[in-house]
Amino acid sequence: MPSSPYAIMKRGRTQTLALAQAVAETLQREGIDAHVQSALRLNFSTTKAIRTADAKGRMQRVHGNVAVKRAHGLSNRHVVLVDDIITTGSTIRACTKMLSAHQAHVVTALTLASTPCGPGLDAAMHER
């Protein structure tokens, strides 16, 4: 999953790449030809963190702001999305939609953690 430019600047790294590498190494040990590809980017220019928005605000913020960096090599690939935390599922849904539009097959999404369900959060997403 892509991080916003602000998050990358603030942290000095893209934290999900280390998680994705660990997932790829685990799959490789099981004999699966897995590789990490940073294929998506978020087009945010604001410094307001997405985590501060409610479910509706998060959905509006990511809608139309996920882009493919390079489509080469995505067609007919099986993709595992990796993210650090899931709050509402808006980013995962937007990334899945964008990858599907480029003929990639998202088979699952893995997250390190999830936020508790609460008012305005997509409880169904937390059950998957």
pLDDT tens by residue, 6-17? 666 676 656 788
This prediction's pTM: 0.71
pLDDT computed for residue 59 by the predictor: 59
Backbone dihedral region of 124: left (phi > 0), alpha (psi from -120 to 50 degrees) or beta? Answer: alpha
User: Which tokens belong to 28?
Assistant: 């490789």
Q: How far apart are CA 36 and CA 4, in angstroms?
A: 18
SS3 call for 42: strand
Based on the number of CB atoms within 10 Å of its own CB, is 116 exposed (0-12), middle (13-18) or buried (19 or more)?
exposed
pLDDT computed for residue 125 by the predictor: 47
Q: Domain of 86?
A: 5-126
Which residue stretches of the chain have pLDDT < 70? 1-9, 11-14, 44-64, 117-128
Helix (H) or strand (E) holding 43: none
pLDDT computed for residue 127 by the predictor: 46
pLDDT computed for residue 47 by the predictor: 46
Residues 28-58: b if buried by 16+ CB within 10 A, e if exposed: eeeeeebebeebbbbebeeeeebeebebeeb
Number of domains in the chain: 1
Helix (H) or strand (E) holding 75: none
SS3 call for 85: strand
